Chain A
Amino acid sequence: MNQMNNLNDITNLNDASNISSETDHSILVCCGTGCLANNSYDIYNLLKQKLELTEISVKPYIKSTGCNGLCEKGPVIKIYPDDISYFKVSIDDVDEIINKTILKHEIIDRLLYFDTNEKKKVISHKDATFYKHQQKIALRNIGEIDPLSIEDYVKKDGYKALQKILFQMNPEEVIKEIESSELKGRGGAGFPTGSKWRTCLRFNNYPKYVVCNGDEGDPGAFMDRSIMEGDPNTVIEGMIICGYAINSNIGFLYIRDEYDLARKNMQIAIDNAKKHNYLGKNIMGSSFDFDLQIVRGGGAFVCGESSALMASIEGNVGEPRAKYIRSVEKGLWNQPTVLNNVETWANIPPIILNGSDWFKNIGIKNNTGTKVFSLVGKVKNTGLVEVPMGTTLNELVYNIGGGIIKDRNFKAVQTGGPSGGCIPKEHLNISLDFDSLKSIGSMMGSGGVIVMDDTTCMVEIARYYMEFLAEESCGKCTSCREGINTLLKILTNISEGKGETDDLDLLLQLCNTIKEASLCGLGKSAPNPVETTLKYFKEEYIDHIINKKCSSGVCKKLTSYYIEKENCIGCGICKKKCPSDAILGNLKECHEIIKECCIKCGTCYLNCPKNAIKIGGGFDEC
C-alpha cells in the first residue's frame, strides 16, 4: 500500500480491500498472551512452514491474531471459509490439521470445543454459548485480524471514521455525535466522554494533549491489554478523532510496564499508520496534523489515576494531585488534556461510523453500548467477554461463564478490582451497568469480574486487597498510607485467630476516615472491599473471631480437616493424594487424618468423591 495523499486514493484503497476476510482462505492462529503461553507462536510458525511445502490448489493465508477471549481453552485456531474452530491445539496436531482439515475439509472431532451448557461439541466458535450472548464493539476485530497488518484493519472499515470526520464533519459535529451517543468512560468512573471533550474544546490554551490510559493495574482485568495487543489501530484512530475534535496535535499512550507485547504491537501500528499517512502531517491529505508517542509505565498501580499518570509522563514520581482544577483545563504540563481509557478509545471509531443512534440502541437507558469484562476466578469459561450494558450478573456467570468450576456453590463476585466490592448471591440478578453496581456498594471499575466459590474466604479476600493497596499506596496522604496498613493489620489478626469483637466497629470507623481524608481515587475507594464483605458476609467475620473457624478452609490457622465416619467409603483417594502422608486407613475401611502430620493443604477435601471430609475450626479436635 502506498502513501495516500488525496481522497480519491483512499476511496480506491477501500474498494480494493472490500473483500470480507471470512470468505478468504485463511487460518487464524490466536497469539494473545494466553495462547502464547501455550506455545501458539510455534504452532503458527510450523503451520506456515508445512503449508509452504504442501501442494494445495488455494493456499490459505496464515495470520496470527489477537486474543479470542476464551484463553482457558487456548491455543485457538480458526479455519476459514469452512468456519471451523479448534481449541487446545498442540504442536503435534499440526500435521493432522493440514492433512485432514485443510486438504480434505474433514473435521477433527477431538479438537472441537465442548459446550458445557449445551452439552455438545460445536464446529464454529460462534455457536458456543460463550460467544453467542456477546455483542462486540470494542473487541470487534480482535481475533479476526492480524494486529500488525494495517491492511487487515482497513479491510474491516478501519480509518473510515477518521476519513469521515476529516472531510465531512467539523469538530463541533464530532463532539455532538459523541455526546449524543452517551458514551461513558470505560476506565471506571464512568464520566461522559462527550462532555469531557466539550469542556476541553472550550479552553483556548495551546498545545492541548490527548492521553490514552493503558496502565491497566487492576488485578484480574486484562481487557485493555487485549485491545492494545489485538487491535492497536482502533485505539490510534479513536485518539486522532479526539485530537481533531478538541484541536490537539499530540497524543501520548501510557502503557503498563508489564505489557511488553501490547507496547510492541502498538509501536508497530503507530509506525505503520505514519507510513500510510493516517498519522503525522496532513493526515489523509487534509490540513490536520497529529502525532502519537508511547510512554512506558514504571510499574505503579497508582499511575492508573489520571493526575498520577500525567505526573509520570512528565518525568516525575507518580503521585496524584488535588483536582480542584480538572485536567481538561490544566492537565499534562498544565495544558488542557483529554484522558480516556483504552476501551473508550476503541468505541470511538464505530460510534462515528455508525452514528450515535445505533450506539444508543445497544445497552440500556443512561448506560449505552457494551462493556468488556474479564471473567476470571472460579468459573468454568474464563476469558474476555463483551456484552451490552444491562446484562445481568447471572447471565454473565452462568450462561457465558458456564457456571462454577466443579459445580461448587457460588459465593460472591468481586467487580471493579481492589477499589470495587464483593457482590453476594442475593444480588445475582443485578444489571451490570455503572449505576446499578454503585447502588450496592461496588463499582464497574475497568471491568474485572472475579468469581468466588465456597472455597474462597471473604475475610482473606479483604485482607488480600488491603495487602495489595498498602503496597501500592503512593504514601502522600496519611489516611491512605497509615489507614490501609492498619486495616491490613486488623484483618491479618482476624485471619490468624487473634481477632476481637470490637475489631468490626474499628474496621468500619477506619474505612470512613480513609474515604473522607484521601485525595485520589485509590484512597477514596480502598475501603470498598472491607465494607462490602462486612456488609454481606458479617457472619464469616464473626465465625473467625468468635468460633475461631474459617469455613472455607483458607485461613490455615483456623482450619482443620476431619473425616465423617458415616460417609467415608474407604476409596483411598485422599490417602493417595495427601502430600504429607497424614491419612491412614485400609481400602474399604474408614480413613482417618492424623492431626500432627496434616499440613492443611486441603487436597483431600477437594478430591473426596463423597464429600466426607469436613472443615473444622482451628482449635477443634480432629
Chain B
Amino acid sequence: MIVDSKTDYMESIDIIKKYPKEKRFTLAILQDIQKQYGFIPKPVMFYISEYLNEPISSIYSMATFYKALSLKPKGKNIIKVCNGTACHIRGSNSILDELINILKINAGETTKDGLFSIEIVNCLGACALAPVMVINDKYYGSMTKEKIENIINNYRRQSYESNE
C-alpha cells in the first residue's frame, strides 16, 4: 500500500460530505475518490468508515471487489484494451501484445514515469468497431498493431508539452 506522506487527503472529506450518511452511497463515494486521486488511499477508507459508521472491513471489501476501484495509483493515461468476445475474435490479443511490447509493462501495471496504465476490459459495448482500444475517454476503433506506436507517441508528446 502506497501512502503519500506529503498529503493527508483532507480534501476527500469535502467529497465524502456531499453524500448523506447512508450506507447505500458507499460505492458512489468510493468512485468519486477514485476519480479524484486515481486510486483509493488507505486514510480515506478510514474517513469513509467513520462518516458512514460502517466497519473498515466492509469499505475495504467494496474497494477490492469492484473493478472500477483500485488500491494502487494508476497512470495519467489509462489505456483500456477491450477483450470482449467480438474484439477477442478479431484479434484484441495482438493489440495487447503490441502495447506490452511498446510500454514494457503488463496489463494491470503502470509505467515508471506514471504516464500510462494498461487495463483489460470485458466489452466496452462498441463491438461493431472491434477491436477497440480506449485511452482516457477517446475510442480508437478497428485497431491494428501498426497504429499503436503513433497513438502512444502522441500522448507522450502531449504530456511533455504540458509539462514545459
Contacts and interface: CB of A to CB of B under 8 A. Distances in A.
B138 to A, nearest CB: 8
Contact of A315 (B26, B86, B141): B26
Contacts of A314: 23-24
B128 A72 contact: yes
Contact of B128 (A34, A417, A468): A34
Contacts of A471: 122
B85 A315 contact: no
Contact of B126 (A37, A70, A257, A456): A37
A103 to B, nearest CB: 32
A111 to B, nearest CB: 19
Nearest to B121: A258
B127 A376 contact: yes
A614 interface: no
Interface string A299-339: 11100000000001111111000000000000000000000
Contacts of B3: none
Contacts of B22: 315
Contacts of B15: none
A345 to B, nearest CB: 18
Interface stretch (A172-180, A212-220, A241-249): A212-220
Contacts of B28: 295-296
A298 B67 contact: yes
Interface string B65-78: 11111000000000
B125 interface: yes
B86 A376 contact: yes
A448 B65 contact: no
A564 interface: no
Interface in B88-112: 88-90, 94
B86 A220 contact: yes
Interface string B5-37: 000000000000000001111111011000000
Interface in A180-214: none
Nearest to B23: A315
A510 B28 CA distance: 38
Contact of B127 (A70, A296, A382, A468): A382
B139 A217 contact: no
Contacts of B66: 257, 298-300, 318
B81 interface: no
B45 interface: no
A216 B126 CA distance: 12
A376 B130 contact: yes
B129 A377 contact: no
Task: Point out which of A33, A219, A301, A472 has the most chain B C-beta atoms below 10 A from its C-beta.
Answer: A219
B140 interface: yes
Contacts of A221: 123, 125, 127
Nearest to B85: A220
B65 A298 contact: yes
Contacts of B123: 217-222, 258
B124 A300 contact: no
Question: Which residue, B61, B85, B124, B132, has most C-beta atoms of chain A within 10 A?
Answer: B85
Given A299-B67, A601-B94, A450 B89 contact: yes
B41 interface: no
A553 B122 CA distance: 24
B56 interface: no
Nearest to A70: B128
B127 A461 contact: no
Contacts of A260: 137
A37 B139 contact: yes
B67 A37 contact: no
A438 B128 CA distance: 26
A220 B90 contact: no
Max chain A Cβ within 10 angstroms of own Cβ: one of B88, B122, B123: B123
Contact of B86 (A38, A70, A450, A472): A450
B94 A37 contact: no
Interface string A439-456: 000000000101010001
B62 A220 contact: no
A225 B141 contact: no
A438 to B, nearest CB: 20
Interface in B52-68: 58, 61-62, 65-68
Given A258-B121, A315-B27, A71 B68 contact: no
A233 B95 CA distance: 38
A417 B84 CA distance: 10
A492 to B, nearest CB: 14
Contact of B132 (A37, A70, A217, A383): A37
B89 A456 contact: yes
A377 B31 contact: no
A464 B125 contact: no
B26 A34 contact: no
Contact of A313 (B24, B88, B130): B24
A378 interface: yes
B65 A34 contact: no
Given A296-B27, A315-B26, A71 B89 contact: no
A299 B127 contact: no
Interface string A11-39: 00000000000000000000001101110
Given A37-B141, A260-B137, A601-B94, A376 B128 contact: yes
Contacts of B31: 257, 296, 298
A71 B129 contact: yes
A36 B128 contact: no
A260 B137 CA distance: 9
Interface centre among B85, B89, B94, B125 (most CB of A within 10 A): B125
A317 B85 CA distance: 26
B60 to A, nearest CB: 10
Interface in A259-312: 259-260, 295-301, 312
Contact of B24 (A33, A300, A315): A315
A472 B66 CA distance: 10
A374 interface: yes
Given A296-B27, A298-B67, A464-B85, A37 B129 contact: yes
Interface in A397-424: 414, 417
A220 B68 CA distance: 20
Contact of B122 (A72, A217, A259, A450): A217
Interface of A: 33-34, 36-38, 70-72, 216-222, 225, 257-260, 295-301, 312-318, 374, 376-378, 382-383, 414, 417, 448, 450, 452, 456, 461, 464-465, 468, 471-472, 474, 601
25 contacts: A34-B128, A37-B129, A37-B140, A38-B141, A70-B128, A71-B128, A218-B123, A219-B85, A257-B31, A258-B125, A260-B137, A296-B28, A298-B66, A298-B67, A300-B67, A312-B27, A314-B23, A316-B58, A317-B65, A377-B86, A378-B90, A382-B130, A417-B85, A452-B89, A464-B85
Given A34-B126, A219-B83, A315-B24, 11 more contacts: A72-B129, A219-B86, A221-B125, A298-B27, A312-B27, A315-B26, A317-B58, A414-B85, A468-B122, A471-B122, A472-B122
